[in-house]
Structure 1
Amino acid sequence: MEFAYLGPRGTFTEAALRRLPAAKGAAAVPLPSIPEILDAVRRGEVDAGFVPIENSQEGTVTLTVDELVGGDPLVIAGEVVLPVTFVLASAKAPAAIATVASHPHAIAQVRGFLRRELPNAVVHQALSTAQAAQRVADGEFDACVCAPFTAEAAGLPVQAFDIGDSSGAETRFVHVVRPTAPPEPSGNDITSLVVSIDHDRVGALLAVLTELAIRGINLTRIESRPTGEGLGRYAFFLDCTGHLADPRMGEALTGLRRICADVRYLGSYPRDHSDRPVPPPAGLGDTDFADAAAWLDRLRGGGAA
């Protein structure tokens, strides 16, 4: 097995990949960008990709979502949620730092620190925190925002620890493969979808949400992304609690298929989170759907109600 991940070595993505059960014993291949990782998966050059998809401070990693929404089909087979801690790494004292580099999402999570402690420093974007650290080590920039292990790997002294604006920051990473059957239900799963609706139809998005709500499926995330077809034309990225094998999820997907212009299934996979899913309302659990289906089969077979 080969997993491509957002490199170079020493990134948060590499640290999260080490926590993924499916990657145990696999070869890790660093690549410089998210599109290159996902294209390598599509072409079969690697078995899987591992990329960030959202964080608790800055929200969606749009490159990842847009690739899943609009590129050739891929599916998510797993996720890892990683707590993230940032440091300011530099061989210079803070008073001598004129330039700071990091990944845009890392910069967004330390804005308060930068405004307060380095108000005159010029901030530069890098493809990853590890690349930023290497560019500091090479003398291109004075300092970087990165993980403690990234600074250590680059041989950079840490000038300030735990500089994030939120102490509970987390980033979510996903294990992406070519289309295949999902892993078995775990009892605490997510199903990810992309739905395209008829934007000229009144209540089209409400109809999508209704297909989920009437089956007791909790929508944990909804994100609109432009289709490129003109202003006001969007596809919707959805995360729902449940698994493709669940009867109520199956009914919801067939309902969405009937009413949407397009539905792209992006996988069912275990949640990497200690919170249990919100229980469905009375009458909308999996056993309720199974009992109702068995009752209908009896009727169709001439049995008693």
Structure 2
Amino acid sequence: MPTTASSSTYSYLGPAGTFTEAALKQVPEAVGATWRSVNNVGEALADVVSGRSTAAMIAIENSVEGGVSATQDALATVPGLRIVGEYLVRVNFVLVARPGTRLDEVRVVNAHPVAYAQTHLWLERNLPGHGHIPASSNVAAAADLLQSSGGTGTADAAVAPPGITEHHDVEVLATEIGDNANAVTRFVLVSRTVPVPPATGADKTSLIVELPVDGAGALVDMLEQFATRGINLSLIQSRPIGDALGRYRFVIDLEGHVLDERVADALLGLKRFSPNVIFLGSYPRADATPVEVSPRYDDEAFVDARDWLRGLVSGVDPV
């Protein structure tokens, strides 16, 4: 990473106590550094581009809701960025209120839209007919309860992360209110463009690819760049480009590293196929699970094939 004056600053979606902060706590380089709380993904990435921060921690995917569209769209439109790591955070929620509030008194709930989507079944079951006010973050949802004079905000309760009582004077009405106990959010650490790290054998590569035409078979043609090289995709999600109906870009995570022969060959194929390929980075998988590769697609197979072709061209009969 850069070694400028801002190299010890990391941006994250705040305020303190968010799941994004929990992800940043997993970064060894961030220990003892300055952490800058921001309000949204755009501000976090602007910090990186401007040099205010070395890197920013942002949510990119949730096991329940899928890809985070705001992050995906920002990475597609802000140049000069590179994902340098990924981190997983188990996600669950508590319902909090101003001290003295009872659960049966709750009529309106403050919650970040993503948090609300992951708790709405519990809320509908336990608070039938409740109203929802969107919040800018999970911590802000709880903080907003205390903002108005006398603690009489519009919402009666808030969906917040566990540990919120360490930051705000609220009372926990219910714990483990997430609809899926196995919910996990994937975060990525984004820096300015840097050389890719060495391959570890347990890597992931992120791309954004546009189709050349809106026509039959275009998506299949793109996917064949991966399938014919034995590359598994762990994420593929379409996002509108915005310039016309039917025009989409695809956010892709694949198993492997750009220095792997099969991945490099696939990227060359994509570059010939697509009018715009954005390489977001190759980085170690958070779960450190080694990528399994068939012998047909390992590095040696690609090297042998190139050597065979060189022999043909030079007049050496294949052995």
> Per the shorter chain, which TM-score range?
over 0.9
Aligned to 2:303: 290
Matched, 1:122 2:131: yes
The answer for unaligned runs of 5 or more in structure 2 is 1-7
User: Which residue type is aligned with residue 247 of structure 2?
Assistant: R
Moved more, 236-245 or 14-23: 14-23
Identify if the C-alpha distance between structure 1 residues 186 and 25 changes in structure 2 by more than 3 Å, giving closer, same or farther.
Answer: farther
Moved more, 202-211 or 239-248: 202-211
Alignment TM-score, normalising by the size of structure 1: 0.94
Identify if the C-alpha distance between structure 1 residues 3 and 302 changes in structure 2 by more than 3 Å, giving closer, same or farther.
Answer: farther
Aligned to 1:47: 54
Alignment TM-score, normalising by the size of structure 2: 0.90
How far apart, in 2, do the equivalents of 1:144 and 1:5 lie? Answer: 21
Q: Name the Cα RMSD after superposition.
A: 1.7
Matched, 1:137 2:158: no
Moved more, 279-288 or 130-139: 279-288
| Superposition misfits of 4+ residues, deviation over 6 angstroms | none
Per the TM alignment, residue 100 of structure 1 is displaced from its structure 2 partner at its CA by: 1.2
Aligned to 2:30: 23
Which residues in structure 2 correspond to 1:181-192 (within 5 Å)?
A: 181-192=195-206
Aligned to 2:169: 155
The answer for unaligned runs of 5 or more in structure 1 is none
Per the TM alignment, residue 300 of structure 1 is displaced from its structure 2 partner at its CA by: 5.0
User: Which residue type is aligned with residue 293 of structure 1?
Assistant: R
How far apart, in 1, do the equivalents of 2:230 and 2:167 lie? Answer: 48
Per the TM alignment, residue 147 of structure 1 is displaced from its structure 2 partner at its CA by: 1.2
Matched, 1:256 2:265: no
Which residues in structure 2 correspond to 1:238-249 (within 5 Å)?
A: 238-249=252-263
Q: Percent identity, please.
A: 41
Matched, 1:98 2:107: yes
Moved more, 135-144 or 214-223: 135-144
| Residue 281 of structure 2, aligned match among 267, 274, 277 | 267
Partner SS for 1:154: coil
Identify if the C-alpha distance between structure 1 residues 296 and 204 changes in structure 2 by more than 3 Å, giving closer, same or farther.
Answer: same
Asked whether the 8 Å contact 1:129–1:150 carries over to 2, the reply is no
How far apart, in 1, do the equivalents of 2:29 and 2:305 lie? Answer: 36
How far apart, in 1, do the equivalents of 2:160 and 2:262 lie? Answer: 43
Number of corresponding residues? 304
